[in-house]
Amino acid sequence: MNSVKKSKSLVVSEKPNLKSPDLYINRELSLLEFNRRVLEQAKDEHNPLLERLRFLCIASTNLDEFFEIRVAGLAQQVKYGSTQTGEDNLAPVEVLRRISEIAHELVVEQYQILNDVLIPELAKEKIRILRRAQWKPKLSRWVKRYFNRELLPVLSPIGLDPAHPFPRVLNKNLYFIIELEGKDAFGREGGYAIVQAPRSLPRVIAVPKEHSVKTDDFILLSSVLHAFVGELFPGMEVKGCYQFKVTRNSDLFVDDEEVDDLLRALEGELPSRRFNDAIRLEVAENCPEDISAFLLDQFKLTEDALYKVNGPVNLNRLLQLHDLIDRPDLVFPGFTPDLPPRLLKTSNIFETLHNGDILLLHPFQSFAPVVDFLKQAATDPAVLSIKQTLYRTGDDSAIVKALKDAARNGKEVTVVIELRARFDEEANIELASDLQEAGAHVVYGVVGYKTHAKMIMVVRREGRSLRRYVHLGTGNYHARTARLYTDYGLLTSDQAVAEDVNKLFHQMTGLGRATKLKKLLQSPFTLHKSMLELIRAEAANARAGKDARVIAKMNALVEPEIIRALYEASMAGVKIDLIIRGICCLRPGVKGISDNIHVRSIIGRFLEHTRVYYFHNDGNPHLYCASADWMQRNLFHRVEACFPIEEKRPRDQIIKLGLMNYLSDNTQAWILQSDGSYRRAKPGSNAKPRSAQQTLLDHYC
């Protein structure tokens, strides 16, 4: 069932109102549609079975984060009486109502896929998630021993009475509410008790081979606790045991104008994330109405925030199966990332860059050259300084190790760390401390503006002069996501680009006015204006009878001025192709306004993360890669870098493989309809199936 509201038919006048709410899709509803597309991958039989389970878990995680941030923000607006609307003119209370409808549908579908599709198909492959009814006596005895050994010592049941009020429930943790009957040792009458599942224990437990010789069997921690929860209440009768999970507001609030020390302010805010206002309550499907109502009352939630689920409430924890099962036939085949041939000819990356830029497309090409770039800089006696931005890095980062080695080797190392990278705040605070201990200079960017640009600059003495070398990227300096996300990285010794990067670092670490850049576009100063100018130039060319085209690939399109510029360009005759993975607030296919705009989303094995902007420019194309999407936050409230691809070979490579290849995808592409829904592309009767990501794997690997 599709719950996206149909747009009203528009009567197009000579000068249509491009601010009409009917021309804009709601941001939050568009994000839910993205999650629907991810969930569809769990049903796609072309994907290996364990990968389908992974997509199901990703959809569940996405929905959690959607409630933690987006729904929480809307709920706060409603709480404080805000009626502010976006370009779509939907009030927060109406958006919340529609979100509730769609999210309930998605949750029901998640568990239908799990129970009716994936679990039976896993069983056919001799992989079983055993329910309690399937435990044979010998296995039951093993589970009982496991409970006594692993769970019982760390469980702390809390009986609810005047001396034991309802406990503070952690965000997204697994809990049980127990209904008891009888009297305890002190003569207290039974009632309700709360049991928290230990966060230190795995949610998926492998059954020993002696109990499952011919199969890979697993049991869930929730099943173990459910089976033996009575052991926690001796002499009393357990009338019911029901799992539940609460999702809370996880956005952190730091008043930029009042903060003296951003790191300390964030350290103070992080603990509150676990206990902020509740946004959603998930309970077991068999939970009685009176207990559900009791829980809703405890968390100050209304009925529309209740989600009854037929399975584990912490569905995303099933992702552990992906790592526990050694079945190469049930996962995507492995591959070896490519290395550009020029990097194989010499081990000195600085010499290589003297002869031209190196463009990398991850994960099809290795992330190792970026790490080697820093490693060589850390040990090269000719290198004087290294500057880098860090947004997300991951554990045991080779990038961070190279920076620390460089500082210990006497290089001037300056690192701009964005402490407010959502859900990585704690890790980044620890990272800042580690780098400072190694001797690096650490700054936290510009107060009020997230540092989202991805940049490295190495200064090296060569003869009597200093030369700068630069890496610019569309993604993070995170080795794990470099294997999972598609991102471009440019290594260059172009001195105009390097000078621009140097100026950006000066802006972030010092004080002073923004200076004019030669080649880079940056947020919050020139990127938005420049994108508008480039779009409008295409419209002017179209009106002059010249060929005109815009192709843009990004994660999200929200910013209204850019949307209106695209509408105007479409009306002028510009052919516009948008490849947008997630949110798209532009409404394509509106007669007389967006007839020439086509929007597609690619959902596949890798998360599409590249940002590429192409403008035909009367046959002399402008091509940019960027860290920024076309969203207000990227264009006005972040420090972003957008860099030109000027050398012919990498430019042609991006146009052919990074844009046209995606426009010809007819298997993993979803086409945005004018009503806000998406239709999956299918090969025509005489067309061969084409997957953009598979084409890139075949080309590089």
Tokens of 115: 């129970």
For residues 237 and 184, give the distance between their C-alpha atoms in angstroms, rounded to a whole number: 10
For residues 281 and 140, give the distance between their C-alpha atoms in angstroms, rounded to a whole number: 31
- Return all residues near 415 (Cβ < 8 A) that are at least 6 apart: 387, 388, 389, 390, 403, 432, 435, 440, 441, 442, 443
Query: Would the pLDDT of 672 be above 60?
Result: yes
How many CA atoms does the CB half-sphere of 424 hold within 13 Å?
16
Four-way CATH pick for 522-700: 3.20.20.140, 1.10.240.10, 3.10.20.600, 3.30.870.10: 3.30.870.10
Q: What is the DSSP string of 368-419?
A: HHHHHHHHHHHH-TTEEEEEEEES---TT-HHHHHHHHHHHTT-EEEEEE-T
Query: Would the pLDDT of 596 be above 80?
Result: yes
**3-class DSSP assignment, residue 24:** strand
Of 155-169, 497-511, 553-567, the range with the lowest mean pLDDT is 155-169
Query: Would the pLDDT of 125 be above 90?
Result: yes
Dihedrals φ, ψ of 474, to 5°?
Answer: -95, -10
Tokens of 527: 């990127």
Burial code of 358-395, b = ≥16 C-beta within 10 A, e = fewer? bbbbbbbbbbbbbbbbbbbbbebeebebbbbbbbbbbe
The pLDDT value recorded for residue 494 is: 97
Region 430-440 average pLDDT = 86
Dihedrals φ, ψ of 521, to 5°?
Answer: -105, 145
Query: Would the pLDDT of 3 be above 50?
Result: no
Of 257-261, 362-366, 563-567, the range with the lowest mean pLDDT is 257-261
Rg of the chain on CA atoms, in Å: 27
> Is the Cβ–Cβ distance between 446 and 437 less than 8 Å?
no
Of residues 588 and 211, more confidently modeled: 588
The pLDDT value recorded for residue 422 is: 56
- Is omega for the bond preceding 524 within 30 degrees of 0, making it cis? yes
- Return all residues near 280 (Cβ < 8 A) that are at least 6 apart: 67, 71, 246, 247, 301, 305, 307
The pLDDT value recorded for residue 8 is: 41
> Is the Cβ–Cβ distance between 173 and 196 less than 8 Å?
yes
First to last CA, the chain: 39
Placement of tokens 């650490």 in the chain: 442
Would you kindly state where each structural domain of the chain is located, as residue ranges?
A: 101-330, 341-512, 522-700
Q: What is the DSSP letter of 675?
A: T
Q: Could you tell me which residues are beta bridge partners of residue 522?
A: 641
Tokens of 694: 């598979």
For residues 395 and 620, give the distance between their C-alpha atoms in angstroms, rounded to a whole number: 43
**3-class DSSP assignment, residue 485:** strand
Q: Domain 101-330: give its CATH code.
A: 3.30.1840.10
Fold identical between 101-330 and 522-700?
no
Q: What is the DSSP letter of 29?
A: H
Of 106-120, 419-433, 469-483, 667-681, the range with the lowest mean pLDDT is 419-433
Query: Would the pLDDT of 414 be above 90?
Result: yes
Q: What is the DSSP string of 227-280?
A: HHGGGGSTTSEEEEEEEEEEEE-------TTT-S-HHHHHHHHGGGGGGS-EEE
Give residue 268's pLDDT band: very low, low, confident or very high (50, 70, 90).
very low
| Strand pairing report for 549-554 and 612-615 | antiparallel
Fold of the CATH domain 341-512: Endonuclease; Chain A (3.30.870)
**3-class DSSP assignment, residue 554:** strand
Query: Would the pLDDT of 23 be above 50?
Result: yes
Residues with catalytic roles: 452
Dihedrals φ, ψ of 691, to 5°?
Answer: -115, 125
pLDDT tens sequence across 276-314: 789 999 999 999 999 999 999 999 999 999 999 999 999
Placement of tokens 């956005």 in the chain: 251
Expressed in percent and rounded to 5, the helix, strand and coil fractions of the chain are 40, 20, 35
> Is the Cβ–Cβ distance between 221 and 153 less than 8 Å?
no
The pLDDT value recorded for residue 274 is: 54
> Is the Cβ–Cβ distance between 645 and 654 less than 8 Å?
yes
Tokens of 473: 């990227």
Sign (positive or negative) of CA dihedral 629, 635, 637, 639 = positive
The pLDDT value recorded for residue 161 is: 81
| Strand pairing report for 127-129 and 441-443 | unpaired
pLDDT tens sequence across 497-552: 999 999 999 999 887 777 899 999 999 999 999 999 999 999 999 999 999 999 99
Looking only at Cα atoms, what is the longest distance across the chain? 90
